[in-house]
Structure 1
Amino acid sequence: MTRGIDQLDGHLLRVLATVIEERSVSRAAARLRQSQPAVSGSLKRLREIFGDALLVRDGTAMVPTARAAGLAGQARHALDALEAMLQQPGHFVPGEAQLRFRIASPDYIAPAWIAHLVQRVAAEAPGCRVELRPLGPTYDYERALGEDELDLVIGNWPAPPEHLHISLLLEDEVVCLLARDHPLARRKRVDEAAYLAAGHIVPLPYALAQRGVVETHLAERRLQRDARVQVPYFALGASIAAQTQFIFTTARHFAHYHAGLLPLAVLQAPEGFPRMRFYQLWHDRVHHSPAHRWLRAQVTRVVRELAASSAE
């Protein structure tokens, strides 16, 4: 048993957990950013250490053995314990740090938020890197946070996941973004009748489990808008709105950013729309990390400073 423990290391534990979760050497290699032969070699070593096949073929699929089924979670816990041992509690010097911060966000966050955050990190922690990941309907950000693929998620949810740590960044108004030559553009507010009679640009959901704020509000009132165009990116919705007679419903900070770049008007949405609440989410594994506490503080500062300046 001691010999087996001596053969295990952090790399093999990560391969073990990933291969079992993915049930595929090729997919595990892609997640780990390693070559398929390298992951196959590590899997061979793991099979020798545990004396178990770990993954076996079932028709065209690979499935974990009875022993392997419980090993993935144990491997993740062991990795978390190793990372905790290497951290220096209460000690983080931004100017000396050499870290990678991985942040996921949908593109309806105005680019100014992210640009100012990157600028802040570059100024105060020049040895650190920021990696931005897109949120989409097929991306399981909850799993990615738990499995050390992400450090932070910034976004908007009608009902944020309860098992994650959460911090409110901003409450923002829902507005209508439309071309300056749109027949409604001279109004201050789009009333409900005009809103429902108009054609709309609607974004694809960025989370499979939840509707967005706009769709949730309309569904609760048993209303349905005329979705003429569906777009995968919010920025594309703004560009289409500028050149068509369709309305794009979004957050005020996003709308004002794009109205400064394109011939767009920003109108108040029909009465009754709830305010959008933007959060940052993180997993318990980084909750007490001094480096990640510093990162979350920078996100909060950037968003609130920009919100204050836009309100002046």
Structure 2
Amino acid sequence: MRFNKLDLNLLVALDALLSERSISRAAERVHLSQSAMSNALARLREYFDDELLVQVGRKMEPTPRAEGLADAVRDVLVRVEATISTQPAFVPAESTRAFRLLVSDYTLTTLMPHVLARVYEAAPHIRIDLRPQVQHPERALERADADLLIIPREYCSADHPAETLLDEAFCCVLWEGSPLADAPLTREAYLDAGHIVVLPGQGQPALEDWFVQRLGVARRVEVTTYSFAAASQLVVGTQRIATVHRRLAKLAQRHEPIVIRDVPLHMPEMHQMVQWHKHRSADAGLVWLREQLRAAVGGMDGGGKI
């Protein structure tokens, strides 16, 4: 099919090339031979009268023209995919659909066991692909690499719809053998202590660290980790403090010799959201899955069995 003399199949190739920045990986992504992808790139260059991708050292880099095309091409393809793949009805018990969710290990540990139990009961043949959080998660929606994002409100994109799943407070976790655990945790004691801080997603700051920085105070960071779930375990045997999500702390307290204290600073709650692509609001499968997420929050907080 052609539009203004452009073979629209070439848009799929262009999207893969701009995402992968490699002819061989782009060919693998869309199930073409490397020679066929090279031919597609040549035709695209001729049509747009631009190199689109140029070799810089061992990598291929997009030209300014290609960078200007990238978002528009991806938007067109997502819109088409959403239109043709969305079914008028979704029958959970009969579906074999795969859903891709981007989640932090906080969500993986606290909420997802309840979600998977509900989904399995209603739709045992559905597949759930849980993927780690990345920087700029909205790009995963726009590339159709994820169906849903579960992220704090501060990291949501203004370009796509989102709704609140839950609110989460922060607390301090200390080893029960630490001298700090024997007295009220004051602001001074908190700021004087060594801290364990989470740096998720390629070193970007955790939300609690961002809140602390906004208060204009500095902590003495002695340990960093990429895992929210591990922070409560890493204080054991030390006099350090970890500032963590309260639901995670309560889970850890079942198995670790730790105590929980309120944060002696004014720290806002985290508002955890679920976000989806604006072109997929009518997707009956995603509407159903969002309902399962909301119900799972109630089950988690109500103490229902998994």
TM-score normalised by L of structure 1: 0.83
Q: Which has the higher mean CA deviation after the structures are superposed, 64-73 or 85-94?
A: 64-73
Structure 2 match to 1:255 = 249
Q: Distance in 2 between matches of 1:4 and 1:45?
A: 17
Q: 1:196 Cα shift?
A: 0.8
Q: List aligned pairs for 1:74-223, cutoff 5 A.
A: 74-88=72-86, 90-109=88-107, 111-136=109-134, 139-158=135-154, 160-187=156-183, 190-206=185-201, 211-223=205-217
Aligned to 1:41: 36
Q: Offset of 1:291 from its aligned partner?
A: 0.6
What whole-Å deviation, never above 9, does each CA across 1:164-197 have from its counterpart, x for those lacking one? 322111112211111111223245x522111111
How far does residue 112 in structure 1 lie from its aligned partner after superposition?
A: 3.8
Deviation at 1:22, TM superposition (A): 3.6
Gaps of 5+ in 1: none
1:271-286 aligned at under 5 Å gives the runs 271-286=265-280
- Displacement of 1:131 in angstroms is 0.7
Cα distance, 1:123 vs structure 2 = 1.9
Calculate percent identity across the aligned residue pairs. Answer: 30
Structure 2 gap segments, 5+ residues each: none
**Superposed CA RMSD:** 3.1
2:16 aligned residue = 18
For 2:177 and 2:275, how far apart are their aligned partners in 1? Answer: 39
Q: Which piece of structure 1 moves more, 210-219 or 46-55?
A: 46-55
> Measured at CA, do residues 261 and 26 of structure 1 come closer, stay the same or move farther in structure 2, by a change above 3 Å?
farther
Q: 1:171 to 1:5 in 2, by over 3 A?
A: same
1:60-71 alignment runs, 5 A limit: 60=57, 61-64=59-62, 68=66, 71=69
Between the two proteins, the alignment pairs up a number of residues equal to: 301
Shift of 1:33: 8.1
State the Cα distance separating 1:309 from its structure 2 match.
Answer: 2.7
Residues 87 and 2 (structure 1), Cα distance of their counterparts in 2 relative to 1, 3 Å cut? closer
Mapped to 2, the partners of 1:282 and 1:8 lie a distance apart of 26
